[in-house]
Structure 1
């Protein structure tokens, strides 16, 4: 068919009307932004290259980002630049590090604070940047955060504050500041953590407490200060997952923060940089980005699930390490798919640092050359990002057995460094030994935080729970009280471990006062009513059942075919409740019109998965329509099911690399406005019940735009349109 473009005479007559429409859309974005479904963080002022058009722009740092030397323009000016473009501005800053040189170098209070950094055994400070140490949060630092940061941000009219990455490195804990905090907390002199497991345990518990206390004080102060000004201040914690922090040997409050009244939610900082961390499986060490990301997002989702705190999932189209664009793209698809497989989450940080993504060159695969992000990748990325504006919570479940959980706890971070008594946990394998054998067989295993066991909802849908004390310990006897009640009411518990790690007999509640247990599992078994020295086997516990495997779970993944006993036990556990445990090589979820598919390698089959169409491939910047989409092992797919459009039977933008606003369906026309960063290409596919007559494109000055591609596909009843993006807006009108 012939697609007509408006002639110049017609453009002159209607240009003022279209310009009015564009300005109207820009003003209306504010009401859209207030819902804060999608956000991004930036240390830059607004520039057209990074106008991502998410709901919220999170402006980073009152003094910018210590990793970005181009972000030093005034904080208030940066905030204003985004507000002037219709965005709601939020604020993010580091709570363990940041561009706080005025504090560290003595400008703020006349005292140099560089000696408050986290210090390693060799006496070296752990640095995040130039004159930016990872901090031991003492009273002076907390006061600085309140007065110099929080007050200034709230005074600028910002009511959502993100306190990023409360991190204390496990290898830290040797500096003067930490020794002072030790004496204040424990009431006895500091002990070197490398000298005994107990010293390590005490050291890491203190690191955990210091940031728990800091976030409690700062969040309560922010809410109180905001209230004095008539503002309802919200506090969020952007943090890596418990899986990653444990793997990377970092201590952080994690799940415990959900109990603080001053914390309103989290950002799950999961991306290629965390998820590509190599793991053992079937005796091999390699990157397993999708599987790792799935477990990371799961640990974050379960952390807040029973508390109703808000959770944003983050992905990053690139990462900190200098890799190629092809590498970034492959791993971005893997992490993006993993986040979408949690249908209870619909809020997203679509990217951090768009200035890094859009304006800095990176390697071209297989060469020494560098280039800016390609049009193909930026278009694909923007299609994915704009789908996040549309995707909603779903009651659907991921294919497979959704009622199996693995218990985890904050103390996973306490046992990682240093190695004592030659007991090691290479690559955090005691955790992966309980999860990867199931996930690789297509079981969407969930993680359960012991800190949340007091909530009835935590184990409500779990039928089989796996746990081990080989890499963590219970924080109180309440954990065992809750577990025993659940088992006695019909739950099935699998305990795996030899209880031979050197942390079993640290001075803790299970061996203090009236308790004289050698290991915490002895106390658990007593609560369950079985022998405290129980060996391998199965045990009936009122309505429930307990299975014990006397093997540390790291063996399940560190040795080839090492998981056979574990898998057989899990099968027997399911059979004991009359449920069949099904294995496959894929995870599939339908969320409204979206199909999310991951097919795993190293699984029970090398068969591909075939998704029946017609579907639009949202990982392809050309947005092709397939009658059937094949997904091979080791790959993922993100698809739009056209049947949803057919059922609605009205014009609709199905996929686009730009944010759509001012959408209007009239008797004889369908129109909307597209906005996205400059120097990128919009690719979009639109459904029509019948072929449209003409299409008209116009920029914000009322000038004609010639599309780079346009065409009708009669088989799918969709129109494909491609043109250069603009943050000022492109008006699109179809005459019907």
Structure 2
């Protein structure tokens, strides 16, 4: 498998010119609809979805080219997105494209059921013929329409699938022997999932390579991106996807980290309790995406969604949006964002007003105002060298093979809710340690372990794909690194036919190879072992024990604290109940619950509360356990004599400053209310707020705040622009 990936990567590198081109697109959103005033959210680029639209709506009534033009006419850059595992491809499945029926190429479960995404839209086994269709019927038409940025989203193969004739043919082609049912043995499961992984790796390579070659033939530099869930989420949801291998693929220019309430509310175990922990899960999801790509320099968009796929209520959506939004901003080295998917369902969808109400309504005005303040802040969100408060240097090792062992269960070995991962991460995250994740596939990059003092790892839920990874880990330990390894090494996947038990390798379990090359010996007992300047500490507990049993994580925490402080000499491992980050003019705060410390976190200064649609000016903000805060710190404005919009539920254009006047145009969707805070050198003597036709807006309101030297303005938004003129 590794050889195949290397060959494909070199092929892609050979044909690519101008890879990973930087652009000026900072914020994007995806929509299947043509422009309309109710969804005109003013991000930099509109990602127009699907040549045939979105399977869940009627966007296909308007041609792709017409939809693209409608957004371009409104000043947007236009990109293109479609699914690589599903989409409006009925012309392929029903034979219209090549005269052959292809519904047999769907992903099929053990009981013979096809896994569907919509009517006549199966999840796809990406065969050679389907890849040809994607190139000729999808990508070529998009590039011919002038699109130079293409997103192929969600390369997903369900772990429970793998029984179709199409998959059996791909198995024989790849392995050279007949298909084996994955439910019959761990070996078969592992082989099946490696193939699923490889099939979508190959599909993305081939389609993106074609896109770049065809674009080049037309004088275009086509950029290619992969919107994908995190490795944390795909592993928990039992889906197979190429994930970390794509981070090194030369013909991939970047990614969208598809993290939102729907992924982050998946329950997990901590201290013996299973429940939703949206902020913590989102923090780990975004972290796994950042660490997947940080060593490779690819562009990364972080996504949040003000609602989610499943119908809930507006109160629930708002609370969890704040949690995921804060989590993404706590990564100060990422500053590109997909501000929302599907604005049509956000602005126009009908959802329950509250958990106790069956009355449905469109988005409340207070929430749409708050949301637009938040997404417009993203347009100017800076990169920052500041770090989240807390002890740094503790990382959890991840591997793509986390996805391989999730389904089906063998020999009764269970890993409920991915507890072997969360059992390493949550004991520290919930104690206020900003734990990181590290991808084993990236160990060859020097930057991968540069800031890690103590690396937590286990092979109870994943396996190393190459012996080279162990050599790199051993070299890191020899130079002074510390590994805390947790695991009984008794899961049934230890015995699959892999490199550690083939040829000259005669190891019963994967970790024994690592231990032996560090002179620890095979099957070491629990305890501390020195290698070079570094340490390996072996715990003979599966990490899930630290999560699923009440009070059992103290063993792991005590060992890591001692290793961190006494062996790594990294300082005191600080435990607390909060995270804080100063990022440009913004302050981010998250206070954790389920912590022995129940104190709130207080920020003081000249603060604007960006989670409050009224944008109140505060002298202090008190954040309680289980809550987050997003604040604009007026005290950190560099030039307070310069008139400027500090926060707004609209995007600001055409700013003009004279000696005593400041004017600008504010644009945002219709049927929403604008709130804004404007910094001025003195209290205005005159406010003039006019509609696009030049008439004065009678419902506009304004208020001066002397403490912050800001004017608060509110009026009804208009995508054609409301003109604001302030005189002092």
Q: TM-score range by the shorter chain?
A: over 0.9
Contact preservation (8 Å) 1:303, 1:448? yes
Which residue, out of 621, 627, 640, partners 1:629? 621
- Decide whether the 8 Å contact of 1:583 with 1:604 is kept in 2: no
1:540 partner SS: strand
Give per-residue Cα distances to partners, 1:189-215, cap 9 Å, x unaligned.
000000000000000000000000000
* Stretch of structure 1 that moved more, 405-414 or 649-658: 649-658
Residues in 1 aligned to 2:634 and 2:125: alpha-carbon distance in whole angstroms: 54
1:724 matched to 2:716: yes
Residue 401 of structure 2 corresponds to residue 414 of structure 1: no
2:423 and 2:276 map into 1 onto residues whose CA distance is 15
- The alpha carbon displacement at 1:646 in A equals 6.8
Partner of 1:3: none
**Mapped pair 1:577 → 2:593:** no
Question: Structure 1 CA distance, aligned partners of 2:228 and 2:654?
Answer: 36
Kept in 1, the 8 Å contact 2:640–2:681? The answer is no
- Structure 1 CA distance for aligned equivalents of residues 606 and 596 of structure 2: 28
> How far apart are the structure 1 equivalents of 2:486 and 2:417?
18
Q: Does 1:526 align with 2:526?
A: no
Indicate the residue corresponding to 1:90 in structure 2. Answer: 79
- Structure 1 unaligned regions, length at least 5: 1-32
Structure 2 residue aligned with 1:556, among 546, 558, 561? 546
The match for 1:468 is 458
Q: Specify the alignment match of 2:666 in structure 1.
A: 674
**Distance in 2, Cα, partners of 1:76 & 1:446:** 43
Matches for 1:119-198 after TM superposition, within 5 Å: 119-198=108-187
Alignment coverage as a number of residue pairs = 704
Q: For the Cα contact (< 8 Å) 2:603–2:622, is it kept in 1?
A: yes
Q: Structure 2 unaligned runs (5+)?
A: 1-21
Are 1:681 and 1:722, in contact at CA under 8 Å, matched by a contact in 2? yes
Distance 1:446 1:432 in 2: 12
Q: Which residue of 2 aligns with 1:18?
A: none
Query: Residue 602 in 1 paired to residue 591 in 2?
Result: no
Residue 645 (structure 1) shift: 2.9
Partner of 1:8: none
Query: Separation in 1 of the partners of 2:451 and 2:424?
Result: 19
Q: Which of 639, 642, 648 is the matching residue for 2:640?
A: 648
- What is the correspondence of 1:231-310 to structure 2 with a 5 Å cutoff? 231-310=220-299
2-structure distance, mates of 1:619, 1:34: 30
- Alpha carbons 2:156, 2:240 under 8 Å: kept: yes
Describe the superposition over 1:255-277 as per-residue Cα deviations: whole angstroms up to 9, x where unpaired: 10122111001000000000000
What are the superposed Cα offsets for residues 608-648 of structure 1, whole Å, 9 maximum, x if unpaired? 10111221100000001111100000010000001023753
* RMSD, aligned CA: 1.0
1:507 to 480, 497, 504: 497
Name the CA distance, whole Å, in 2 between partners of 1:659 and 1:641.
20
> Normalised by the size of structure 1, how large is the TM-score?
0.95
Residue pair 1:34, 1:88 contacting (<8 A) in 2 also = no
Instruction: Supply the distance in 2 between the matched residues of 1:557 and 1:346 (Cα, whole angstroms).
Output: 33
Contact 1:645 1:652 (C-alpha < 8 Å) held by counterparts: no
Aligned partner of 2:209 among 195, 211, 220 = 220
Q: Distance in 2 between matches of 1:374 and 1:533?
A: 60
Contact 2:134 2:207 (8 Å CA) reproduced: yes
Q: How far apart, CA to CA, are the structure 2 residues paired with 1:295 and 1:415? A: 20
Aligned to 2:582: 590
Q: What SS does structure 2 have at the residue aligned with 1:457?
A: coil
Cα pair 1:243 1:299 within 8 Å, conserved: yes
Please tell me whether residue 657 in structure 1 is matched to residue 645 in structure 2.
no
Shift of 1:183: 0.5
Residue 179 (structure 1) shift: 0.4
Separation in 2, partners of 1:686, 1:604 = 41
Alignment of 1:272-351 (within 5 A): 272-351=261-340
Do the aligned residues in 1 keep the contact of 2:423 with 2:546 (CA within 8 Å)?
Answer: yes
Are 1:202 and 2:194 matched, yes or no? no
Q: Give the TM-score, by structure 2 length.
A: 0.96
User: Is the counterpart of residue 103 in structure 1 residue 95 in structure 2?
Assistant: no
Greater relative contact order: 1 or 2 (C-alpha under 8 angstroms, separation 6 or more)?
Answer: 1
Partner residue of 2:369 out of 362, 375, 379: 379
CA deviation map 1:134-180 (0-9, x unaligned): 00000110000000000000000000000000000000000100000
